[in-house]
Structure 1
Amino acid sequence: MNLGLNGKVALVLASSRGLGQAMAVSLAREGVKVAVTGRNPEGLKKSVELIEAAGGTALALSWDLSDPSVIDGLVSKIEKELGPIDILVNNTGGPPPTLAAGQDPALWQKSFNDMILSLISITDRVLPGMRQRKWGRIITSTTSGAIAPIKNLAISNTLRAALLGWSKTLAAEVAVNVIMPGRVVTDRLRQLDEARAQRENISYDSVVQASLKQIPAGRYGDPQEYGDTAAFLASQNASYITGSVIRVDGGQIQAI
């Protein structure tokens, strides 16, 4: 299937590893020129290698989402070296696991700045150009905890739910969709499973087996499956899809 994306330019935030990296590579396979961002030089290097191996063009940017002062300069660099941004993939790393009660307000504030305000600010920077060219896609990557809260991930559950509200509201103005993973194999998922095993004093394999029982597909997802879904949402073929939440979860999420 030709997704009609050849020659487009994408900015994929937090794409030096995990799901961000997978989305960047899937877009590159469709001929998209991709700006990848992150704070880990080795991870960025790996993302560039994967994109180039897929026949794509990549620009690696060291980007700390907690610093709003760098937004204009980095977006301008992308526009100069790759071209105007057609596709924005809003993605961030996850906050530390926490209970809901008793958290330091400073942690809530930092997480809000990193995970919400940064994405809104970057979106506002690229939207005028999309509107001027009458073509653009915004994809927000969130988590299943936004609609089915996950135990011990209070900050993530709360702030990702805020992203849903913002994205749905923005979708009345421009083309925006949300993509939501279930249990897709990444370093982050393994860390969370290991933390649960330690917290509950059970084996890592026991955690995995308990999770698999809750997934109708009977397995964890492959990051490429998530990335390919994002590429489809960015495509011409998905031009009549907006304001939707697309779950890539093997049937795990029970909410309607």
Structure 2
Amino acid sequence: MDLGLSGRTALVCSSTSGLGEAIARTLAAEGARTVVCGRRGELARRIAARLPAAAGVEVDLLAEDGPARLLEATVAAFGPPDVLVLNGPGPKPGPASGLGLAEVDAALDATLRQQLRLVALALPAMRERGWGRILAVGSSGIAAPIPDLALSNLGRAALAGYLKTLAAEVAADGVTVNLLLPGRVETERTTAIDTANAERTGRSLAEVRRASLAAIPAGRYGRPAEFAAAAAFLCSEQASYITGTAMRCDGGYVRSL
């Protein structure tokens, strides 16, 4: 299937590792001119150098001017983004009881505020051109809140509500807005969560992973490339009638429809 991404400009946030890197590589393989970005500028440039048409940008999206600087670098390299993939590291694990306001504020910076600024900067050009794709890498916690990930559940649910509202407002302009929710995908973030669960419960990491696998009908953790393939489809020309959705890529982990 031709995804219709050849020549499109794709900006993938936090794309120097994990799911973001996998998405950047997949979009580039589909012909998109891809911006790889992250705090590790040398790594971003090294990844970009191995892709067909890509640029690496060093940026801290939590800095006040981070989103604006990233959009400026994207425009300078390839023009305004046609595809914006919202992605970033999640807040630290922890329970809902006893959350402090400072922790909540930091979590919202990471999971909501920077995304709002990026969308505000990228959306006008998409609407003017009559074509755009906004895709957020979310969490299965949006569908079923995950124990001991209270800050992530809070921030990602807020972003989901905003994006669902936005999707209806811009659909007639040819801009789709969706979320893709990973379950247990083999990334550094997943390993960190498993490690935190092991420390919290007094079990070994191997025991925690066995318990996780037992809860996944597919019987394994996902591969980043599998998740990235689903992301590329949602960013494609072929997915032009899919908007306002939160699609899961989780091996059946969340049991609700």
Coarse TM-score class (shorter-chain normalised): over 0.9
Q: Give the alignment of 1:163-174 within 5 angstroms.
A: 163-174=159-170
| Cα 1:41/1:71, change in 2 over 3 Å | closer
Q: TM-score w.r.t. structure 2 length? A: 0.94
| Cα 1:73/1:41, change in 2 over 3 Å | closer
Partner Cα separation in structure 1 for residue 214 and residue 88 of structure 2:
28
Matched, 1:148 2:166: no
| 2:209 equivalent in structure 1 | 208
Q: Give the alignment of 1:1-256 within 5 angstroms.
A: 1-41=1-41, 43-49=43-49, 51-52=50-51, 56-174=52-170, 175-256=176-257
Partners of 2:167 and 2:243 within 8 A in 1: yes
Which amino acid in 2 is paired with 1:173?
E
SS class of match (1:210): helix
Deviation at 1:242, TM superposition (A): 0.5
Partners of 1:17 and 1:47 within 8 A in 2: no
Which amino acid in 2 is paired with 1:83?
G
Which amino acid in 2 is paired with 1:22?
A
Structure 1, residues 145-202: CA drift from partner, whole Å, max 9, x if none? 1221111110001111111111110110221011000000001101111221222122
Structure 1 stretches of at least 4 aligned residues deviating more than 4 Å after TM superposition: none
SS class of match (2:65): helix
SS class of match (2:169): coil
Partners of 1:8 and 1:31 within 8 A in 2: yes
Percent sequence identity over aligned pairs: 43
SS class of match (1:129): helix
| 2:173 equivalent in structure 1 | none
Partner Cα separation in structure 1 for residue 59 and residue 42 of structure 2:
14
Gapped regions of structure 1 (runs ≥ 5): none
Deviation at 1:42, TM superposition (A): 5.0
Which amino acid in 1 is paired with 2:165?
T
Gapped regions of structure 2 (runs ≥ 5): 171-175
Deviation at 1:36, TM superposition (A): 1.4
Deviation at 1:217, TM superposition (A): 0.9
Q: TM-score w.r.t. structure 1 length? A: 0.94
Deviation at 1:48, TM superposition (A): 2.0
Partner Cα separation in structure 1 for residue 250 and residue 80 of structure 2:
33
**Alpha carbon RMSD of aligned pairs, Å?**
1.4
Deviation at 1:74, TM superposition (A): 2.6
Structure 1, residues 43-99: CA drift from partner, whole Å, max 9, x if none? 4245325x52xxx22211112121232332331221121122100001111111111
SS class of match (1:171): helix
Partner Cα separation in structure 2 for residue 197 and residue 64 of structure 1:
30
Which amino acid in 1 is paired with 2:38?
G
Partners of 2:48 and 2:54 within 8 A in 1: yes
Partners of 1:142 and 1:180 within 8 A in 2: yes
SS class of match (2:192): helix
Partners of 1:17 and 1:43 within 8 A in 2: no
Aligned length in residues: 252
